[in-house]
Amino acid sequence: MAVLGMDLGGTKLAYAVFTEDGTLIRKNTLSLDKRKGTEVGRLISTNISDIISSSSGEGFKIGSIGISVPGISHAGTGKVWAPNIPGWEDYPLLEEAVSVSGGIPVVIESDRACYIMGEVWQGNAKNCKDAIFLSVGTGIGAGILVNGEILRGSHDVAGSIGWMALNRPFIDDYIACGCFEYYASGAGIASNAKRMIKQGRGYNGVLKNILSENITSYEVFSAYDNGDPVASAVISQCIEFWAMAVANLISLFNPQKIIMGGGVFGPAVSLIPRIREEASRWAQPVSINQVSIEQSALAGDAGVIGAAYMALKKIII
Amino acid sequence: MAVLGMDLGGTKLAYAVFTEDGTLIRKNTLSLDKRKGTEVGRLISTNISDIISSSSGEGFKIGSIGISVPGISHAGTGKVWAPNIPGWEDYPLLEEAVSVSGGIPVVIESDRACYIMGEVWQGNAKNCKDAIFLSVGTGIGAGILVNGEILRGSHDVAGSIGWMALNRPFIDDYIACGCFEYYASGAGIASNAKRMIKQGRGYNGVLKNILSENITSYEVFSAYDNGDPVASAVISQCIEFWAMAVANLISLFNPQKIIMGGGVFGPAVSLIPRIREEASRWAQPVSINQVSIEQSALAGDAGVIGAAYMALKKIII
């Protein structure tokens, strides 16, 4: 029996078929080409149909399907909220997928849940029952595994760690995205650097020569690697916030592993030792010694692998 | 079938026998009288023996036993770490209790786990599967229920919310007890008030006339009720920290309820609306509207009721 994992992002749809033991059978990535609303749903359902109908000719049989979505999957209704897909405020993705799956079970999960499940199946959290994927990209979210199960909360919104309160007093800048995300997301890194360049007199580093709208976290990391003072100040502040958040996860969840992933980790993986050092000052002192803080082993594939593993769990348990 | 719940505190042992439907059959509270180490263990085992042997004459039969401990219960070993009981760094309480229980199953849980279970059985978290008891007394801890099960973490140390990082930069004062506890526990309230009185020139309020060693959080709350400026500053700061911690629980766990309990709630229950208002600024905006923030319904009985419920769950599931 094989499983199909699909990972919907804001701009593309990746999918992969695996055997039960995790061997990759086939994979592909498709651009969304600015599709929105039902067009995105149709792209997913068409591919499900095509993969199922081509499967027997290719010598495999799909036993279950997992779909990772960039937002919230409501387990009770099968509907999805995905802020980056226009028209997906409450999209009936499960109904659409099941309508073409011919009785093959379908499970839909948030991307952050799939990330940690991917690491459990094929990455750095193998054999873990209590582990957390801290995803730092444009935004920040956490996929949290508690005793082998995804933490969903009462309405499937758990893991919204971008909203973590870490820096008082409250300021209006936190309203749109949350305090932690404001300072320490990819978007936050870029905007903090821009703000600092604007405010700082006498700064003449490399970031000054880049058009403001072109400064992303990648330019900041590149400048940081070259000793730029603004980049250095921004990243040092990020390390403090990442460490406080990691410490809070350690004190609350007493996990075996915290996996740092997303686009920012990425360039920030070399900072993990400094994050651990700073987190050690804040965290519950027993728990900090029971946790390993590691980078993602799967990078951009965590979502599709995790979606496939959620599918597999649906049929093997 | 009846269940026996025991609640060990730093200075006393409370126990209660309930029917399966929660009706109280008998209860008692015993002073520890400065017992330590094995003496405390013997007090517990002697009482278990006595209750079991007297039970048939009193018309009930104990089906299981739950014990709440003021520290960490290691589920794998049956040993207990309880910092306020001298000699209980790694005390084999399960072995001792089982040796006198005559085959009746025994379960041992941390006090914070029992608090939330007590509220689920007989208090303000009935029918909840995702709820948190935030216990603010001398120290601070959280009993966290995830999908109907206690969150234990990899080594039973989960819920150590007193260590939550909320106020940067790190200062050495946080080393002993954690940042959140430093500012917002009962002990923190008292020491913050003392510090403010010492630093503040021109303060002539009621707290000035109390010997420093006699100032506890209760004196601070009493002064607060009378409009004292130092007490008002200390409590306002506490509200901010409690709100940030509550917001972080909401963003991470998306719970149905957060129950504010412990000795400080108590006098601080009237502040819950202000805590909610401040938490609303910080928390994930969907989750904050899905949570109810309430006081404990059980006050000092939450531990013994929760211990009895843990015992009941051991035999009915």
- pLDDT digit string (tens) for A35-69? 999 999 999 999 999 999 999 898 999 999 999 99
Inter-chain residue contact B240 with A163, CB threshold 8 Å: no
Do B136 and B219 sit in the same domain of this protein?
yes
Residues of A in contact with B167 (CB under 8 A): 168
* CATH code of A106's domain: 3.30.420.40
User: For A176, how many CA atoms within 13 A lie in the half-sphere containing its CB?
Assistant: 6
Closest CA to A97 of A160, A163, A129, A51: A51
d(CA B288, CA B52): 46
Report, as an integer, the average pLDDT of B49-68: 95
Each residue of B245-258: pLDDT tens digit?
A: 999 999 999 999 99
Q: Which two tokens stand for residue A58?
A: 């290719």
Query: What span, in angstroms and rounded, lies between the C-alpha atoms of B53 and A276?
Result: 53
A196 and A163 within one domain: yes
> A283 and chain B: CB distance < 8 Å anywhere?
yes
* Cβ contact, residue pair B282, A165, below 8 Å: yes
Q: Which two tokens stand for residue A202?
A: 């006498």
Same domain, A161 and A192: yes
Range of the domain at A136: 131-296
For range A236-248, the mean pLDDT:
98
Asked if residues A1 and A35 have their Cβ atoms less than 8 Å apart, the reply is no
How high is the pLDDT of residue B212? 86
Positive or negative, the Cα torsion across A146, A150, A156, A158? positive
pLDDT of residue A142: 98
Q: Tell me how far apart the alpha carbons of residues B214 and A215 are, in angstroms, rounded to a whole number.
A: 57
Q: What Cα–Cα distance (Å) separates residue A56 from each residue in A50, A62, A257, A283, A314?
A: 11, 9, 39, 52, 21
| Beta-carbon count within 10 A of A35 CB | 18
Contacts of B174 in chain A (CB under 8 A): 281-282
Same-domain pairing of A97 and A148:
no
Q: Which of A78, A75, A76, A91 is nearest to A36 (CA)?
A: A91
Same structural domain for residues B142 and B79? Answer: no
Residue B248 to residue A248, Cβ atoms within 8 A: yes
Interface mutation target, options A72, A73, A128, A155, chain B, most CBs of B under 10 Å: A155
Question: By three-state DSSP, how is residue A5 classified?
Answer: strand
Residues A110 and A145 in one domain: no
Report the chain A residue with the minimal C-alpha distance to residue B179. Answer: A282
A165 vs B130: CB contact, 8 Å cut-off? Answer: no
Are B253 and B311 part of one and the same domain? no
Residues A34 and A147 in one domain: no
Q: Which residues of B touch A154 (CB under 8 A)?
A: 129-130, 254-256, 290-291
User: Does B313 contact A at CB distance below 8 Å?
Assistant: no
Query: Contact at 8 Å (CB) between B111 and B117?
Result: no
Q: What's the mean pLDDT in B172-177? A: 96
Residues of B in contact with A275 (CB under 8 A): none
Number of domains in chain A: 2
What ipTM does this complex have?
0.97
Query: Does the beta carbon of A83 lie under 8 angstroms from any beta carbon of chain B?
Result: no
pLDDT at B202: 84
Q: What is the pLDDT of residue B252?
A: 98
CB contact under 8 A, A146 and B146: yes
Q: Which residues pair with B133 in a beta bridge?
A: B143, B259
pLDDT of residue A317: 63
A158 and A289 together in one domain: yes
Residue B139: name the closest of B219, B83, B208 by CA: B83
pLDDT tens, position by position, A256-305: 999 999 999 999 999 999 999 999 999 999 999 999 999 999 989 999 99
How many angstroms separate the most distant Cα atoms in chain A?
Answer: 67
DSSP characters over A253-293: H--SEEEEESTTTTGGGGGHHHHHHHHHHHS-HHHHTT-EE
Say whether both B33 and B181 belong to one domain: no
pLDDT at B317 over 90: no
Instruction: Provide, as residue numbers in chain B, all residues whose Cβ is less than 8 Å from the Cβ of A158.
Output: 252-254, 287
- For residue A139, the distance in angstroms to the closest alpha carbon of chain B comes to 13
Averaged pLDDT, A110-120: 98
The pLDDT tens digits for B222-242 are: 999 999 999 999 999 999 999
**Residue A53: CB atoms within 10 Å:** 11
CB contact residues (below 8 A), chain A span 43-62, against chain B: none
Residue A232 contacts B where some CB pair is shorter than 8 Å: no
Burial class, A88, CB count within 10 angstroms (exposed 0-12 / middle 13-18 / buried 19+): buried
- Identify whether residues B143 and B213 lie together within a single domain: yes
Q: Chain A residues with CB inside 8 Å of B245's CB?
A: 165
Of A156, A174, A282, the CB nearest to B163: A282
The predicted-structure confidence for A77-87, as pLDDT tens digits, reads as follows: 999 999 999 99
How much is the pLDDT for A56? 87
d(CA B59, CA B69): 28
User: Looking at residues B299-312, what average pLDDT do you find?
Assistant: 96
Mean pLDDT of all residues in chain A?
96
A254 plus A307 within the same structural domain:
no
Q: Is the dihedral of CA A225, A227, A228, A232 positive or negative?
A: positive
Q: How far is A8 from B45, CA to CA, in rounded Å? A: 58
Mean pLDDT confidence for A177-181: 97
**A75 in contact with chain B, both atoms CB, cutoff 8 A:** no
